[in-house]
Amino acid sequence: MFIPLLQKERSIDDFVDPSGECRLSSLLTDANSESQMDELYTKEIAGLVRSALTDLDDRERHIIRNRFGLLGGAELTLEEIGRTLNLSRERVRQLEREAKQKLRQVLQHHEGHLKFSLA
């Protein structure tokens, strides 16, 4: 517990291995690089979702886009979507469930091709 207090201070440029190949600075994480990785991951997933949406029919795509506010729109209720499609709230819920199942299948199929894991 007190050992860190007894150790001498080290420079960020000090080598941390006996061979002199690894510097302390290389072991520290770069918050900027992590945010860049997060951004790449988000863009890849967004592209995959956009691609998966093309596998849905027009009505299913309309429901998913409006239900979840995709494309910058507001998230609508089942009833609001039903009014635009002249469907009951229950029928919209059923179609949403079917569309989400289709999307899951497409995304699971493409998961092996991702540069980053969905896990």
Q: Is 99 domain-assigned?
A: yes
Q: Is 53 domain-assigned?
A: yes
User: Range of 39's domain?
Assistant: 15-113
- pTM for the full model? 0.60
Q: Is 3 domain-assigned?
A: no
CA distances from 6 to 3, 12, 13, 28, 103 (A): 5, 18, 20, 22, 57
In tens, the pLDDT along 84-95 reads 999 999 999 999
Q: Is 23 domain-assigned?
A: yes
What total number of domains does the chain contain? 1
Q: Is 103 domain-assigned?
A: yes
- The CATH number covering residue 82 comes to 1.10.10.10
Q: Is 92 domain-assigned?
A: yes
In tens, the pLDDT along 46-78 reads 788 888 899 999 999 999 999 999 878 899 999
Q: Is 10 domain-assigned?
A: no
